[in-house]
Structure 1
Amino acid sequence: MGITAMGKTTRLLPLVLTAAALVPLPHENPSPDRSRQSYQEIPLDGLSVRAQTEPYGMVGITWPDGVRDVTAKVRVERGGKWTDWQTLHVEDDHGPDPSAPEGIARSGTEPLWVADATGVQASAVTGAGAAVAGAKVVLIQPGVLGSDSEDVGGVEAQAGKAPHPMPLMVSRKRWGADERLRAYNGASCVRPKYTTTVLAAFVHHTADRNDYTRTQVPAMVRAMYAYHVKSRGWCDLGYNFLVDRFGRIFEGRAGGAQLPVLGAHTASYNANSFGVAVIGNFEQSAPPAAMLESTARVIAWKLDANYRSPLATVVLDGNRLHTVSGHRDTKPTACPGTQLYKQLAWLKQRVNTLMGGSFTTPIYVFARKLGFRTIGQPFWGEHPTRTGRAAYFGTRDVFYSVATGPHSTAGAFRTRFRRLGAGSARIGLPITEAYQVAGGARQKFQRGWLVWDRRDRQVQLVYGRVS
C-alpha cells in the first residue's frame, strides 16, 4: 500500500479493520528513521481501524465537511505498548470563514501530539453510533531539524516605550516552515490575505498535551501547519501566533506578524481580528504564568500598535464582543479551556497595564486630529523605522521623529515615498504636508522634495532647494 508523504511514497504494513482492540503487530523495520518528514492518511472505513505505521509525532482524524456530531478517539503504540483511548477535540468552526477563498475542504479533530509512535488505532462514529463515511486517520512526522534545539530568535524585539514593543518571537523560518506547502491547495493560497485592520484578539488552546519539551515545540508547530494545510484544506497554519508553556511566542500564519493577516481560527470572526493559540489543553490544567505573560505581551503589542483598548468592546460579524475574547465567546465550545478562560479577566487587565492604559503617541494624536474617518483605520500599526516611527492608515501614512514632528503622505506622494523606502534615510522624513503650487503640488522632506507636475502627472524626487 503506497501513501504519498510530502513528495515521497511511504509503505505501510497491512491494515486490520476491527471494532475491538487488537494485539500489537510486529514492526517491519526495527530501527526506523525518525528524523525525516512524512505524511500518512489511513482510510477509516469501519467503526475502527488499526495499523502498524512508520514513525509519526502527531495524529488527527478528518472527514467530509458537513458531517456533525462526530466522536473521534485514538490510542497509539509507543515503545511496544498501547496507550489508553483518548477522545480528540472537535471544533466545527475552528478555521477559515466559510466564504473565505481557502474554504474548508474537510472537517476534523484538533491534532494530538504523541511525540514518537509507531502504531495507531482510531475510531470515528456519529451520535447514532454509525461509522463516519470518508473518515481518515492522519499521521504526521514533522522530523527533526538542527534548529529545534535552539531558543527564541528570528524576529527581534522593537525598542521604545510607546506603543508596547514587539516581543521576541520565533519566526517561521526559525521553526522550520516549508513555505512551498502554502501552494499545496492552489496558487490562490500562496499570496497571504489581509483584512482591513486589527480590532480584536481571540484566545485559543490547541487542546493538545501539556507535557511536551522545549525542543519538541518547533516540530509540533510544523506538524500543525501540515495538518491544517494537507488534512483540512486551509491555505496555511490557522493561528496568527502560538505560545508554548515556556512562554515562547511563535509566528503563525505567513504575511508579516506586524500586518493584519487574515487567519483561519474563529470562522466568520476572522476578519479584523487575530488568533493567539496557547499550546496545550487547559480544560482541567491551569496555564503556566510564563505562558499567560507572553500571551498578554503579544496581544498588548498588536492592540497598542492599532490603538485598541483591551477593556473595550467591538462589533464583529454582527455581534458585540470584548476586544480580548475567548473562542467560546463566539459559540458553544470548550476552547480555550475552562482554566484558561477563567484567566481572561486577568489577561485584559495585564494587557491594559502593559499598554499604559491610554494612547498618547505623537502619531496617534496627529491621526486623531486628521480624523480616522478621513485617513481610515490602521493597517500597519505604529512601528519603528530607521529614522523614527510610522503608522500606515487606509488613505495616509503618518511618520514621526523628534526632529520632524508628525507629518503624513497621501495619494501619489505616498506611493512615491513608499517606493523610495518610506522611513529610510534617503530623503528623510516629511517636514510639511503636501501643498498646492502653480502647476502642481509639492512636499518637503528633510533632505529633498517630492514634486508633482500637473502636466505629466508624475511625482519627481528633487534634492536641495526647489524654485
Structure 2
Amino acid sequence: MPKIIPMRGFLTTSIGVICAATLALPLIPPTTPATASTARTLAAPGDTRSLPLVPLSRERVLGAAPEQGLYRPDGEHFSLVGVVWDDPGVELRGQVQVRTRSAGTGEWSGWQDVETHNADHGADPGTAEGASRRVRGATAPLWVGASDGVDVRVRAAATGAGGTRAAVPRAPLPSGLRLELVDPGDGEAPPEGAPADPPSTDLDTDAARASSAANADIAGFGALEIPELDQQATEQELARLQGSLPVTPYIGPRPRIVTRRGWGANESLREPGFGYTQKIKAVFVHHTASGNKYSCSQAPSVIRSIYRYHVTSMGWRDIGYNFLVDKCGTLYEGRAGGVARAVLGAHTLGFNSDSMGIAVIGTYGTTKPSRAVVTAIARLTAWKLGFYGGDPRGRTYLTSGGGNLYPEGKNVRLNVISGHRDGFATECPGAALYAGLGTARSGAARYQGR
C-alpha cells in the first residue's frame, strides 16, 4: 500500500533506507559559511497566469463554443504554456495550437501543436492524489522559451464524416478551458553555449529542509547534486543502506543526479510530506511531449516550469516523474522523497505502485534521442533497480490500478524497463524513444555486471 509520510514524521522516523542519525541533520543549521554556489536564492520563485479562453465563433455545441482562444500580444512573461479544464475525466477531443512572441526579438513564432492526450499521466484511480478536487484535465505542457505575447486557439474535432465543414457535427469542448502561462522564475538559462548555472534554494522552510533531508543518507545535507560513485563505492553504499550485501550484488555504479535544490525547486508549491510505494519492480520511460526547442543549459528552467504546471495548473501533489533526463543526458531528481527510496509518483496511470517513472525532456515521436539520453536511462535504472534485485532485461508482474489498456486488478506481465505505452494506450514515450529501450535494457544489464 502506498503511504504518505508527513514532513514532521519524516524528520523523526527511520522508514526505509533513511537512518535516524542522518535525519537529525536538518534540525541543525549549517555552520559552514555561505558561498555563491550554495546560498544563492531565487529572487523570483516563478509565477503562473491562468486566463479563461473566450469563444471565437457564435456556433454552439451543447452550449459550448467549439472554437475558443485568447490573444495577448504583449505584457506577459512566461516560458511554458498549456491548456487546462475543469473535469480531469473529460478528454479534449480536438486541436490546440499556440503561437508566441519572443521576449528577446519581438518576433512571433509559427503555430505549434500542443499535445492534447495527457490523461495517461497521473496518479492512480482511487488514490488520494488522483481523487483530489484540485486535479484538472490538461494538455501536455509546451516549452516556448522566454515570451511576452501569446495567441492560442482550441478547435473541437468533428465527430463524423460530412459533406462540408458546417455540416460535420463536433464534439463539445470541455468546460472551464483556461490558458496557463508559466514563468519558471529567476535563473532563466544563459544563452546557447554558455555554462548552465541553475539556481539553488535556501533551506529556510520545513519543506525545503525535508526535501534535502530525504537524500541525506547518500549526500550531504543541502547538496546541489548527488555525485557519481564507482562500482566499489556503490556496493559499499548498498551494504550500508540495506545492512547486508548479496553474494553477487547486481547494481550499477551510482550516476550523478542533480537534486531538487540544484534545479531550483520551490518547495512551497508541493503538498507537504512524501508518498512511498513498497518497492521498485518496473521502470516506465516517458517523454514530456514539451518540445525540443530548449538548450541543455535551459533544462533546470524547463523542469521548474513542468513542476509548476503539474502542481499549480493540474493540481497534483508534486511533479509527477521520479526522475528527468535532458537531451544531453543529465539526470535530475523529480518527485521529492529521496532518490534512493521507492517514491510513489504520478506518471503511468494505473501502474504507479511498485514502479518509478523517468521522463526524457522533449518530444520523441520522430526525433531520435541522443546516445547520452539512452546511456543516462541505462545508468539510472542499473543503479536504482539494483536496490531491489531487478534485472533490466527481465520481466515482472504489476497489478493494474485501472486504465484504458488493463482493467483494475489485472496482473500484467511487463518488461522491467517498459515504455509508458506498455501500461496505457498512448503514444508516449514516442516511437523514436521507445525504439531505444532495448539498448537501454542491455546497457543497464552490463552496468549491473550481468
In the superposition, the TM-score normalised over structure 2's length comes to 0.67
Answer yes or no: is the 8 Å Cα contact 1:201–1:299 preserved in 2: yes
Task: Name the CA shift for 1:211/1:85 in 2 (closer, same or farther; >3 Å).
Answer: closer
Answer yes or no: is the 8 Å Cα contact 2:348–2:424 preserved in 1: no
C-alpha distance in structure 1 between counterparts of 2:305 and 2:436, whole Å: 28
Match of residue 81 from structure 1: 107
C-alpha distance in structure 2 between counterparts of 1:177 and 1:35, whole Å: 12
- Mark the structure with the bigger radius of gyration: 1
- Say if 2:156 is the partner of 1:134: no
Q: Secondary structure of 2:154's partner? A: strand
Select 2:127's aligned residue among 83, 89, 100. 100
Match of residue 263 from structure 1: 345
Match of residue 408 from structure 1: none
Match of residue 340 from structure 1: 433
Shift of 1:125: 3.5
Answer yes or no: is the 8 Å Cα contact 1:96–1:102 preserved in 2: yes
Match of residue 334 from structure 2: 252
Select 2:71's aligned residue among 50, 58, 82. 50
C-alpha distance in structure 2 between counterparts of 1:135 and 1:335, whole Å: 24
Shift of 1:332: 2.0
Bigger strand share: 1
| 1:90-149 CA distance string (max 9 Å, x none) | 222211112221126111111111111111111234332544320111001112229983
C-alpha distance in structure 1 between counterparts of 2:422 and 2:328, whole Å: 26
List aligned pairs for 1:254-293, cutoff 5 A. Answer: 254-293=336-375
Write the letter of the residue equivalent to 1:50. Y
Write the letter of the residue equivalent to 2:51. I
- Say if 2:298 is the partner of 1:216: yes
C-alpha distance in structure 2 between counterparts of 1:196 and 1:348, whole Å: 23
Q: Secondary structure of 1:82's partner? A: coil
C-alpha distance in structure 2 between counterparts of 1:146 and 1:114, whole Å: 13
Answer yes or no: is the 8 Å Cα contact 1:153–1:168 preserved in 2: no
C-alpha distance in structure 2 between counterparts of 1:129 and 1:77, whole Å: 31
| 1:16-38 CA distance string (max 9 Å, x none) | xxxxxxxxxxxxxxxxxx97722
Write the letter of the residue equivalent to 2:262. R
Select 1:305's aligned residue among 384, 387, 410. 387
Answer yes or no: is the 8 Å Cα contact 1:125–1:132 preserved in 2: no
Report the more deviating stretch, 148-157 or 327-336: 148-157
| 1:196-223 CA distance string (max 9 Å, x none) | 0010000001112223123211111101
| 1:38-81 CA distance string (max 9 Å, x none) | 21001013222111342111001111222212432211122333
Answer yes or no: is the 8 Å Cα contact 1:199–1:323 preserved in 2: yes
Task: Name the CA shift for 1:210/1:335 in 2 (closer, same or farther; >3 Å).
Answer: same
| 1:323-352 CA distance string (max 9 Å, x none) | 100011112211101111111111111111
| 1:259-318 CA distance string (max 9 Å, x none) | 000001001100000000001111111001111111111111111121011122112122
Answer yes or no: is the 8 Å Cα contact 1:206–1:281 preserved in 2: yes
Select 2:197's aligned residue among 147, 150, 159. 150
Write the letter of the residue equivalent to 1:113. W
Write the letter of the residue equivalent to 1:170. V
Match of residue 165 from structure 1: 253
Q: Secondary structure of 1:229's partner? A: helix
Answer yes or no: is the 8 Å Cα contact 1:45–1:134 preserved in 2: no
| 1:156-205 CA distance string (max 9 Å, x none) | 2234344212210100001001111113xxxxxx1110000010000001
C-alpha distance in structure 2 between counterparts of 1:299 and 1:336, whole Å: 16
Answer yes or no: is the 8 Å Cα contact 1:155–1:169 preserved in 2: yes
Match of residue 60 from structure 1: 82
Select 2:46's aligned residue among 37, 41, 49. 37
Q: Secondary structure of 1:48's partner? A: strand
Answer yes or no: is the 8 Å Cα contact 2:120–2:426 preserved in 1: no
Answer yes or no: is the 8 Å Cα contact 1:158–1:165 preserved in 2: yes
Answer yes or no: is the 8 Å Cα contact 2:45–2:266 preserved in 1: no
Answer yes or no: is the 8 Å Cα contact 1:43–1:137 preserved in 2: yes
C-alpha distance in structure 2 between counterparts of 1:147 and 1:49, whole Å: 28
C-alpha distance in structure 2 between counterparts of 1:331 and 1:238, whole Å: 16
Match of residue 455 from structure 1: none
Shift of 1:355: 0.8
List aligned pairs for 1:174-193, cutoff 5 A. Answer: 174-183=262-271, 190-193=272-275
Select 1:314's aligned residue among 396, 420, 428. 396
C-alpha distance in structure 1 between counterparts of 2:224 and 2:368, whole Å: 27
Write the letter of the residue equivalent to 1:48. G
Q: Secondary structure of 1:54's partner? A: coil
Structure with higher RCO (Cα < 8 A, 6+ apart) = 2
Specify every segment of 5 or more residues in structure 1 that has no aligned partner in the other structure, as ranges.
Answer: 1-33, 184-189, 358-467
C-alpha distance in structure 2 between counterparts of 1:249 and 1:168, whole Å: 7
Select 2:423's aligned residue among 312, 320, 330. 330
Match of residue 115 from structure 1: 145
C-alpha distance in structure 2 between counterparts of 1:211 and 1:72, whole Å: 18
Aligned residues: 318
Task: Name the CA shift for 1:308/1:299 in 2 (closer, same or farther; >3 Å).
Answer: same
Shift of 1:150: 3.1
Shift of 1:155: 1.1
C-alpha distance in structure 2 between counterparts of 1:84 and 1:97, whole Å: 36
Specify every segment of 5 or more residues in structure 2 that has no aligned partner in the other structure, as ranges.
Answer: 1-42, 56-67, 158-169, 191-195, 199-222, 236-250, 401-410
Answer yes or no: is the 8 Å Cα contact 1:62–1:138 preserved in 2: yes
C-alpha distance in structure 2 between counterparts of 1:147 and 1:220, whole Å: 9
